[in-house]
Amino acid sequence: MKKTAFIFPGQGSQSVGMGKDLYDNFAVAKQIFDTADRVLGRSISKICFEGPEEDLKLTVNTQPAIVTTSIAILEVFKESVKISPDYVAGHSLGEYCAMYAAGVMSLENTFMAIQKRAELMSQTKGGSMAAILNAPEEVLQAGLKIGSEAGYVDVANYNSPVQVVITGDENAVKAAGDYMLANGARRVVPLPVSGAFHSKYMKGAGEKFAEFVSGLELNNAKIPVITNVDASETQISDDFRKKMPEQIYSSVHWTQTIQKMAENGVDTFIEIGPGKVLAGLNKKILAEASVYNIYDIASLEETVSSIKQALLGV
């Protein structure tokens, strides 16, 4: 029996205009965007549809914009085909869409939680991040050791077997990257971010978020969520309450998340949200898996048609 997972993208997948064709053509999508505008007290839909790009790229806008768009796409997809995933997961902020899809949070609470998370993370300055491509494991570890002599450096994201993102003090990230590039890494790409996400720089933001989450209504998940901090199945509400703040300053174990679902029999992944970032990563992690992605009406129609044939035999 084929098993299916819904996966949701994180920061970096945004683009001006995202969600507009769905908003214009599906009542449920319009309802999601209108609810976001009401709950957040500002027009997140206008930022999604019109930008400008400089505003959309600000963390405080990016996070609610991507979550709103992804959930709108999810709800349109659910109306288009009757399919229930066996697992859900999301990359960094995408985990909030996964929790929504699993019934952990209501729509309103999802928007409030991601807005608070974005505000706290945007207030934390300092540090830098860099993507490392095709670095052998021993080179990665040696680079982190070299970098740590210049300051704090750690792995922010295990994105695929051939891509990790490092995070930490600017000098330490540069020293680690320089070493890796000189010793076999194919590329080192500094990332245009406002701070060192998924690092100890974010510990204070995580602690403040824990205070917020302590009063947030959370339910047990109806579908197992494979969580970023440990790549393990999570369903109990108190476990989410603990992991949500930790995720802000912990590594994103995306490679391990996909591998965990594959071990549990998942062979079909449907990326729901703007862009194709996760579909690309998944092909590097699990080349034999079927991967679909939905980000606009055309990709929705194509995926629905393919899913009906492949999974439902229609």
Spatial separation of the C-alpha atoms in residues 158 and 67, rounded to whole Å: 21
Spatial separation of the C-alpha atoms in residues 275 and 64, rounded to whole Å: 16
Give the catalytic positions in this structure: 92, 198
Spatial separation of the C-alpha atoms in residues 113 and 96, rounded to whole Å: 8
Give the type of residue at 79: E
Spatial separation of the C-alpha atoms in residues 72 and 174, rounded to whole Å: 39
Kindly write down the DSSP assignment for every residue of 85-133, as one continuous string.
-SEEEESTTHHHHHHHHTTSS-HHHHHHHHHHHHHHHHT--B-EEEEEE
Beta bridge partners of 291: 269
Spatial separation of the C-alpha atoms in residues 273 and 198, rounded to whole Å: 21
94 neighbors 247 (Cβ within 8 angstroms): no
76 neighbors 32 (Cβ within 8 angstroms): no
176 neighbors 116 (Cβ within 8 angstroms): no
Measured in whole angstroms, the distance separating CA 227 from the mean position of its chain's CA atoms is: 11
User: Which pairs count as long-range contacts for 80-83, CB under 8 Å and 24+ apart, including other chains?
Assistant: 80/300, 80/304, 81/304, 81/307, 81/308, 81/312, 83/4, 83/307, 83/311, 83/312
Residue 203 token pair: 């510990």
